[in-house]
Structure 1
């Protein structure tokens, strides 16, 4: 009975302690919850104000959906036609007698490869990449190999023209050795282009269903690749071509020949095509690289405008693959006559029209209508 009495007297005491503990817990918990909610609301408000807005590029994507396929189709069509004609003409008439012939053949192969890669670029800009990682890497590698080899070959063509015209005596003395040198140097050019394309092989990936070597707009890889491209594929060829063609024009200006003005016009056309096609794109690419190195863009409108400029100037730069055959090959007398004869032999031109185009324009072009001056023969 004593134990039962003690238990009955203990129950009210325990209940009182439980009620007191619950009330304390509710008060503390309520206060803590209010404080936490207040801190959370302040933190959330401050985070949203400081967080940068996402730059919407939907209009640029819609622009690319029609712009890239249209221009890439035109460039691909004319690039294939022009470069295939050069290749067929060279092999049909076995025209590998000079350094220029060898370089023109390699330039046509490089531009042909570049033109063949354009449909894949158009597909990548229109929809998600569905061709796998191997084709993704192959597309970027072929593009960069053909791009670097084209720029290096244009530089070597200008060097060849410099020695053939400005140093004509020494060039004629070593004429038998130049063809072998051109073949070896062409192989070295392709090897160098392949080496400089290694970053595309390594870093290109199918990220977010898009084939690209860049992971973001602030990627260090993007800065390195674009800086190398500007230095090796624009600044270096520009300096070489500028020096060589300036010396050639000076030499032609001292020559007394009625063909001099025509040769100068051809050189100016070559330089103009290079400047018009390459300068705008490389200026935009340079500014994009600088902005990327500084941490990206702060103004969304400015970033979108720069994207439009990049797309347009890039397509203009791509035009070189269909303009090179006409500027460097068909503008010369010998190459143009060989092309007309090829069209006649294949039944694409009548005999009368062939003689009208060849015999009617055949003139003596003096010192500039030689085997070593194919490119600048008017």
Structure 2
């Protein structure tokens, strides 16, 4: 789970905040208990997060399960690098979405009642999803760049690229697990506290919190954003020079992908930067302002979580071939339940020669699968 304001605020002192050494870091919960009653924030969280988290879990679960369902029913469909990345992206999002009911229950009850081991597991699963999904989205943008901008090279190296995609996915998962190590080590539910949160030993100092937050912002947003911005800007420029009726749809898809990524991720990562500054040296000590910032942080966190349920619609269901696969499977299920009717024949999506930006055979289609 993303680190809340409770987890990173430190440095309680009666001295002027600007004079406090960042290496002396009493827990912010002490500051909360002694100086600022934030019960209203907890009430807001209990009303706001549970229904939204359940909605994200249900919608995202259906969408991502559909992606996995398609790829497992059409095994030969994994014929491009982006196909492999999308399957792994759906699995990563599902791992995160199964944890949301637990966080919803914590917000509703006002306490984490599932024990410290599950606290570590759910916190780590969130970070694994965060890093793996952002890296996979980056890989998709790079693959689109190669297929469209360097189409000749892509055509001549299809087999090697498919083999490479599996190795890339393995590397992504291993790196995501490595980056989630702080959650496995520091996430816990203390007996004296009500919440599952990151608890750092006092001897490690406040800089450890700053390092963890900086790692999340840099690897979970900044680096993927820079790569995606470069790839999609070059793709967009190339499409502008293309005379094809599909290019307008392709440009709309690119704009949607970039806009959703920025709107859902940039505000919360900006809040994380502010929280890192707070963790290093208290710049805000007014109770009312702290409560307002905490509420804003909760809202922006939920906005960032929406990306897990929007990914299937941005990257999979936008494709004509993917929609045809879904319809074929649904019709096949309906036909099997009607024993008296002769099964209908459907043209296999594998027989279609129409391809897309996400496939290697024809880049004129509009970012469809």
TM bucket normalised to smaller: 0.7 to 0.9
Under a length normalisation based on structure 1, what TM-score does the superposition of the two structures give? Answer: 0.79
Partner of 2:175: 192
Structure 1, residues 100-158: CA drift from partner, whole Å, max 9, x if none?
10000000000011100111112222332222221111111111111110010000000
Residues 144, 357 of structure 2: 8 Å contact kept: no
Partner of 1:211: 196
Answer yes or no: is 1:342 the counterpart of 2:333: no
1:63-142 correspondence to structure 2 within 5 Å: 63-94=44-75, 95-126=77-108, 127-142=110-125
1:1-378 correspondence to structure 2 within 5 Å: 54-94=35-75, 95-126=77-108, 127-207=110-190, 208-214=193-199, 219-295=206-282, 297-347=284-334, 370-371=359-360, 376-377=367-368
Higher relative contact order by CA 8 Å / sep ≥ 6: 1 or 2? 2
Distance 1:98 1:238 in 2: 23
Distance 2:15 2:359 in 1: 72
Distance 1:60 1:369 in 2: 44
Residues 100, 375 of structure 1: 8 Å contact kept: no
Residues 214, 222 of structure 1: 8 Å contact kept: no
- Structure 1 segments (4+ residues) deviating >3 Å: 47-53, 218-221, 348-351, 363-375
SS of the aligned residue for 1:129 comes to: coil
Number of equivalences: 323
Residues 82, 358 of structure 2: 8 Å contact kept: no
**Structure of higher CA gyration radius:** 1
Under a length normalisation based on structure 2, what TM-score does the superposition of the two structures give? Answer: 0.81
Structure 1, residues 27-61: CA drift from partner, whole Å, max 9, x if none?
xxxxxxxxxxxxxxxxxxxx999998611101100
Q: What's the RMSD between the two structures over aligned residues?
A: 3.0
Q: Structure 1's 60 and 177: CA in aligned 2 closer, same or farther, altered over 3 A?
A: same
SS of the aligned residue for 2:189 comes to: strand
Distance 2:355 2:242 in 1: 11
Distance 2:181 2:232 in 1: 32
Q: Which residues of structure 1 form unaligned runs of 5+?
A: 1-46
Q: Structure 1's 179 and 276: CA in aligned 2 closer, same or farther, altered over 3 A?
A: same
